[in-house]
Amino acid sequence: MGMTIFYIILAVVIVGLSVFFLVREVKSPTKKEPYTVITNKRQIEKNVQNIESMIKLADGNDTLCNKLVELKDEIRFLNPTKNPKVKVIDEKISSRLDDMKIEITKDVNAETIWRMMEEVEGFIAQRIKELEG
């Protein structure tokens, strides 16, 4: 009987603390880091790491691996910036790379991977044009 009451009290305390921290987070979410050149550099590095993991997943498909290496080099040498328009383009690149990774995990020979890669290359061209103009 005594242990049952202890476990009930313990469960109520855990649930209470969970609700407290959840409500606190909803009322005052953590402050977002301002978009800076360093933030953009981190995003570029994350994209490069994402492509490196795709290369490992695509091991055995030499054509895809070679194209991913080319894409990785293109992204690696992008200039970091705090331009808000470029931020949107970089988010599109990240999103498309995440989609590509999912497709590669499903089927290394899927045609959709190549279309997504073309989209990423288009976003890169758009990004370069935005920085020049």
State how far the Cα of 82 lies from the Cα of 79, in Å rounded to an integer. 10
CB of 116 closer than 8 Å to CB of 96 = yes
- pTM for the whole structure: 0.73
State how far the Cα of 68 lies from the Cα of 120, in Å rounded to an integer. 11
Nearest C-alpha neighbor of 101 from the set 44, 43, 47, 39: 47
Per-residue confidence in pLDDT tens, the chain, 133 aa:
778 888 888 888 888 888 887 777 666 555 666 788 899 999 999 999 999 999 999 988 999 999 999 999 999 999 999 999 999 999 999 999 999 999 999 998 889 999 999 999 999 999 999 988 7
* Helix spans in 58-83 (H): 62-76
- Give, to the nearest 10 degrees, the angle between helix 111-132 and helix 84-106: 170
